[in-house]
Structure 1
Amino acid sequence: MVQIRDGKHFNMDAIIMESKYLQIKILPKLGFKIASFKYISKDKELLFQPEKGSYDIPHYGAPFEKYDTSGLDEMIPTIDECVYKGRQLPDHGEVWSVPWNVEIRNNAVRGEVKLKKLPLQFHKTLAFQVDNILKIDYKVKNLENESIDFLWALHGLNVFDDGTRTLVPKEAQSILNVHENDVLGMIGKKNLFPIAKSMAEDSIDLSLLKNYKDNRSYKYYFLDQIKNGEVGLHYENENIVYVLRYDSEKIPYLGVWVTKGGFKGEYNCAIEPSTGHYDSLELAIQNEKVTRLKPYEEFCWTIYMEVKEA
C-alpha cells in the first residue's frame, strides 16, 4: 500500500512517500530535492545525508558548495556557472536553490518551477510504478517565441563503501576526464573504462570505488554513445542493486562523480545521466551536444529509480 504524507526531514518540512520497499522524503522548499531514498527491507539509506544534521536555506544564485551537498537535486539549464545569450546562469543551475510549487494528487507528488533567467517552465512528477520502483516524469517547456538551449543532469549523491561498484553498459569503454587530479590527470585527458591507466602508469579498475585514492575528487564523462540506458550501483556488502533506467536517445550522456574527502571532506558518488556534454551550457553548445527547444516546444523524459536484491 502506498502512503503519501507530510513530515519532517531534519529541520525541513518534507513530503514522505512510502511503499512496501521504499521510503522517499522530498523537500518542496529546497529545490524539490529528494532528500532521502531508503530501501526499507535492509534499512539502507542510498542518498548521502547532510553531515551537519540540518539544512541552511540558500538564496537564488548562491554557490552550490556553500550549502548542503547531499540528496538528489535537479541541474537545469547548466551545472557550472556560465553565460548564455548575455545572461549569467548560476552555479548548478536555477532550480536547486528555490522553493517549488508542489501538490499531492492521485498517489503522485507533482512540482513545477519557472526559471528566472531563461523562459523555461520545469515540471517533475514522482509516483511508484511498483513497490520497489520510483517513476519520475519530467517536462520542460519553452515559454517564448525564441529557441532556447539547455542541459539537464540528474545530480543524485549516493553513499558508497569499499564494496560498492558502479554499473554501466558494456559499450561504455572510454572516458573523458573533466576534473583535474593526480590520478586521472588534466581536464580533457582520455582514458579507458573500466581498466584505466593512472598518471603513475598503474592500472586502476574505475568501476570499484575502493580503488579511488583518498583526499581527492573525480569527475569524468563516457565518450561512447550509451545505447542501453541502465546504470547504477551494486552494494555488494548488502547484496542490493540501485538502478537508474531511462531513454538514452533523449538522455545520451553519462557522467560519474566520486569524492573521497577531496570535496568538503565528504565521501559520496553520483551517476549522472545528462542531456548535454558537459557541465557548462556554454561548453555543451560549443561541443554541439545540447538540447534545443523551438519556440513553445516541450521536451519530456522519464527516470526510473529501482532498488532490488542483487
Structure 2
Amino acid sequence: MAYRRHRPARNWGARLHEITWFGMRAVVLENELLRVTVLADKGGDVAEFCYKPRDMDFVWLAPDGIRNPRDVAGGASDDVAAFLDHYEGGWQEVLPNGGEPSTYRGAALAQHGEVAGLPWDVEIAADDPSEVAVRLTVRARRMPLRVVKTFRLLSGEAELRVDEELTNESDVALEAMWGHHIVFGAPFLRPGHRIRFPDGAAADPELGVVPERGAPSDIHYLSGFRDGRYEIIDPDAALGLRVRWDAAVLPDLWVWRELGATREAPWWGRAYVVGLEPFAGRPTEGLAEAVRNGSALALRPRETRPLWLRAAVIEGEEAR
C-alpha cells in the first residue's frame, strides 16, 4: 500500500478519501457530479458509480452485498466459488481467464480468475481540486502478468477515466483473456431500457431493448467494433451511461442477461441484470478454448499492452 498519509482533507472540487469498507481498503474518488468507490482489497472492483445530481448508482450490488475475500468459508477454494462466493456485482477486471475454469499450459485458472480476487497496491497519482487519480497495481499469481490501472476524475466532469497497462513479465509468448465485467441492475435497470451499439457491430436488434423480468437468461458475443462504444439509457428518465474503450485491444462485447428466470444457484431468482462487458477472448468456456479458436489476446515476451476505457453519464436529449 502506498497511500500518502496525513493528506489535507478537502470537501470541494475533485477529492478522494481513503476508507475501510466491510473490512477492506477502499478509495473514494469524487467530484461535483460523481462518486466512485474502488475496492483496493478486492480486485480493484468499482463497487459504486453514483451520479450525484440524481442519486443514481449505475452499478448493481448483488443481494448478498459486499463480502471480504479473506472470508473463505463455504468452499471458496473451489474454482467456481472463488469468484461467486465474493461477487458483489459492480465492475471487475477479468484476467487471464474469462468464464469457466480452464487449464492453460499447466496453470489451473478459476472462473474469471485470477486478479478479481486479489488485493491491489494503491498509489495516489493526483490530488488536486481540478483532478484526482489513483493508480492500482497487481501481479497475477499463476501467470507472469502485471496490471497497472489508473482511475481518474476531473472537476466538473461526469466521466470516469480508466487507463491501464498489461505486461507479460516473462521471456515466453503468452495468451490471455482480458475483460471488464460491467453489470447493470437496480436501482438503474428496468424493462424497456435501451441499449445502443455503434454501426458496424454485429448486434441482434432484440438486444437493443431490456426484456421484462422472467425472460430467459442468455449470453451473446458481439464483434465488429470499429468504435468501442455502447450506451444504456432510461428513455423515460432521459438518463444513461456511455461506455467507450479501445476496441483494438478488446474487440468483443459480451452481453450477459440474467433476468430473474434462474431459480437455482447462484441467483435463486434474485438477479435482474444486464452485463455489457468489453473483452478479448470468447466464449465463456475459458482461456484454453479462446486460444483454440484464436480469440485470446496474444502477448509477446516482455510486451506491455496499453488500454483505455471511459464511462460517462449522459442525460437530456442524448439519453432519449
In 2: Cα distance, 1:115 partner to 1:54 partner: 22
SS of corresponding position for 2:217: strand
Alpha-carbon distance in structure 2 between the residues aligned to 1:171 and 1:129? 31
The structural deviation recorded for 1:14 is 2.3
In 2, distance between residues paired with 1:302 and 1:54? 27
How far the C-alpha of 1:18 sits from its partner, in A, is: 0.5
Q: CA separation in 2, counterparts of 1:221 and 1:111?
A: 29
Q: Deviations over 1:119-148 (max 9, x none)?
A: 111111100256111110111111111001
**Residue number in structure 1 paired with 2:247:** 248
User: Taking structure 1 as reference, are residues 119 and 138 closer, same or farther at Cα in structure 2, changes over 3 Å only?
Assistant: same
**Other-structure match for 2:105:** 85
Q: Contact conserved, 1:77 with 1:151, CA < 8 A, in 2?
A: yes
Task: Verify the 8 A CA contact 1:21 1:41 in the aligned structure 2.
Answer: yes
Tell me, yes or no, if structure 1 residue 45 matches structure 2 residue 57. yes
Name 1:122's counterpart in structure 2.
Answer: 147
- Distance in 1, matches of 2:26 and 2:235, equals 31
User: Relative to total residues, which structure has the larger strand share, 1 or 2?
Assistant: 1
TM-score (norm: length of structure 2): 0.82
The structure 2 residue matched to 1:143, chosen from 169, 173, 190, is 169
Greater shift in the superposed pair: 44-53 or 151-160 = 44-53
Q: Secondary structure at the match of 1:96?
A: helix
1:177 is matched with none
Answer whether contact 2:146 2:169 (CA < 8 A) is retained.
Answer: yes
Whole-angstrom distance in 2 between the partners of 1:296 and 1:129: 33
Structure 1 residue 283 displacement after superposition: 1.2
Unaligned runs of 5+ in 2: 1-12, 127-131
Query: What is the CA distance between 1:32 and its match in structure 2?
Result: 1.1
The alignment-based identity, stated in percent, is: 25
- Structure 1 runs not aligned, ≥5 long: 175-192, 195-204
Instruction: Give the one of 300, 303, 309 matched to 2:306.
Output: 300
CA distance in structure 1 between the partners assigned to 2:60 and 2:252 by the alignment: 23
Q: Please list the CA deviations of residues 200-253 of structure 1 after superposition, one character each: whole Å capped at 9, or x if unmatched.
A: xxxxx3211125x6164221101x411121113112232112011112122211
Q: Distance in 2 between matches of 1:243 and 1:228?
A: 13
1:95-106 to 2 correspondences below 5 Å: 95-106=115-126
Provide closer, same or farther for how the CA distance between residues 19 and 259 of structure 1 changes in structure 2, counting only shifts above 3 A.
same
Instruction: Classify 1:164/1:8 alpha carbon distance in 2 versus 1 (closer, same or farther; 3 Å).
Output: farther
Contact 2:195-2:208 at 8 Å conserved across structures: yes
Corresponding residue for residue 71 of structure 1? 90
Pairwise CA RMSD: 1.9
Question: For residues 12 and 114 of structure 1, what CA distance do their matches in structure 2 show?
Answer: 19
User: Given the two structures, how large is their TM-score scaled by the length of structure 1?
Assistant: 0.85
Does the 8 Å CA contact 1:11/1:55 hold for their aligned counterparts?
A: no
In 2, the alpha carbon distance for the partners of 1:170 and 1:275 equals: 20
Partner of 2:200: 171
Q: Aligned AA for 2:217?
A: S
What are the Cα deviations for residues 21-67 of structure 1, in whole angstroms up to 9, with x where unaligned?
11101111111111000111111110011323442425575432222
**Which residue of 2 is the match for residue 182 of structure 1?**
none
Change (3 A) 1:307 1:278: same
Give the direction of change, closer, same or farther, for the CA distance of 1:219–1:170 in structure 2 (3 Å limit): same
* Whole-Å separation in 2 of the counterparts to 1:42 and 1:276: 36
Deviation, structure 1 residue 166: 1.4
Report if aligned partners of 1:232, 1:271 keep a CA contact under 8 Å in 2.
Answer: no
Aligned AA for 1:165?
A: R
Please give the alpha-carbon distance, in whole angstroms, between the structure 1 residues aligned to 2:191 and 2:55.
19
- Quote the offset at 1:8 in angstroms: 4.8
Query: Is 1:208 the counterpart of 2:209 in the alignment?
Result: yes
Q: Is the 8 A contact 1:56 1:68 kept in 2?
A: no
Match in the other structure for 1:283: 289
Q: Is the 8 A contact 2:147 2:164 kept in 1?
A: yes
Assess, with a 3 A threshold, how the Cα gap between structure 1 residues 129 and 248 changes in structure 2: closer, same or farther: farther
Q: Which residue does 2:47 correspond to in 1?
A: 35
CA drift at 1:12? 4.0
Distance 1:53 1:274, change over 3 A: closer
Cα distance in 1 for partners of 2:276, 2:96 equals 18
For 2:245 and 2:200, how far apart are their aligned partners in 1? Answer: 16
Q: How many residues align?
A: 280
